[in-house]
Amino acid sequence: MSTLSKTSSLLRGVLMLAVVLGCGAVAASAQTTDAASAPAPTTLNAALLAYSSSADQTVVPPANVNLAMNVKPFDFLNAMQYGSGSRRGAPRYRGGNSNADGSNKWIFFGGAGLTSPVGNTHHYFTDSWGFQAGGGRQFSKKFAVPVQFDYDNFGMTGQTIANQEALYAILVQQFNNANPGAGAVAPNPLDGNMHVWSFTVDPTETFAQGDTWGAYAVEGVGFYHKVSNFLTPETETFIDPIFGPESFTANEIIDHYTSNAVGFNAGLGVTYKFSKFSNERFYGEVRYVFVDNSKRTGITLANANSNPNNYLVANDFPANSNRTGYFPIKFGIRF
């Protein structure tokens, strides 16, 4: 009896273990079947939603989920231009010196080149050199309003110098006639030059801009100051404490004339960017400048002998007050 009792107890334990294992296998099979029959999420958002709604938090994204579907690729250019998004969702641009389109709020430039008189101005003056510098507000990649300073120099034609030498000779003779014994001498040889400096406001529109080349149009208005100078060699002597008296000769201004007026300019330019990501650009431009000078009466070679007292007239070069026209051609850097 005792042997049968022990065998019965062992048999019951084995049977109970088999039942427990069988139930576990059935439950696992049912769970696998349900998971296989359920539609798999196809996006990262769907997978995360399934994960957050599951009771046991054991749901993981299936193998067929494309984790990169909803991820925006890294944009190097935007990363360079923009910062992180603001609290309201709008992009925050780099610093306070950029416009909404990424362009700088301020523009600066400087250059130099040639000047060429045209029209009536060409009869008195010759080609020479000039330079410019400016800066101002840039409202977008296409539109800016800089303030600009220009200095444009000109030579004088041989005929202008010859006429002025002859005019001075007549006026000096009239002075000597009116003042016996004065012994005044007319300046000879004579030289001369003219220059115009100006401050202008110059709205500029960039109508074409590629990765490298661009083109712009400019027009402006401002104040122009015109000056004509006549020079002659003068010998100066100074006392050197070691070598004694020393002399040197240099041109000195003996007569000059000025004229102030409103002027206008307009032109076209091209730009070349040093690299795709560079803000600096090489530029070349040509403009037409017109200065609306007011004509003043004065003494010329043609009327110098009409009155023996013409030497008293202050304006011996009325051509300086003629209207002025010229082409400045400049090359430089914009940034």
Most confident region among 11-15, 86-90, 97-101, 290-294 by mean pLDDT:
290-294
> What band does 274 get if pLDDT is binned at 50, 70 and 90?
confident
Tens-place pLDDT, residues 31-83: 544 444 445 544 545 554 555 555 555 555 555 555 444 445 545 444 444 44
CATH of domain 106-334: 2.40.160.20
As a whole-number percent, the residues of the chain with pLDDT over 70 amount to: 70
For the chain, the three-class secondary structure string (H helix, E strand, C coil) is: CHHHHHHHHHHHHHHHHHHHHHHHHHHHHHHHHHHHHCCCCCCHHHHHHHHHHCCCCCCCCCCCCCCCCCCCCCCHHHHHHEEEECCCCCEEECCCCECCCCCECEEEEEEEEEEEECHHHHHCEECEEEEEEEEEEECCCCEEEEEEEEEEEEEECHHHHHHHHHHHHHHHHHHHHHCCCCCCCCCCCCEEEEEEEEEEECCEEEEEECCCEEEEEEEEEEEEEEEEEEEEEEEEEEEECCCEEEEEEEEEEEEEEEEEEEEEEEEEEEEEECCCCCCCEEEEEEEEEEECCCCCCCCCCCCHHHCCCHHHCCCCCHHHHCCEEEEEEEEEEEC
Q: How many residues does the chain have?
A: 335
CA dihedral 232, 235, 238, 244 (to 10 degrees): 160
Say if residue 251's pLDDT is above 50.
Answer: yes
Predicted structure pTM score: 0.70
Most confident region among 70-74, 91-95, 182-186, 241-245 by mean pLDDT:
182-186
102: alpha, beta or left? (left if phi > 0; alpha if psi -120 to 50) = left
44-48, 72-76, 121-125, 290-294: which has the minimum mean pLDDT? 72-76
Say if residue 146's pLDDT is above 60.
Answer: yes
Q: How far apart are alpha carbons 270 and 329 in whole angstroms? A: 12
Give me the pLDDT at residue 64, please: 54
Residue 165 backbone phi and psi in degrees, to 5: -60, -45
Q: How far apart are alpha carbons 159 and 63 in whole angstroms? A: 93
Record the tokens describing residue 116, joined without a space: 């060429």
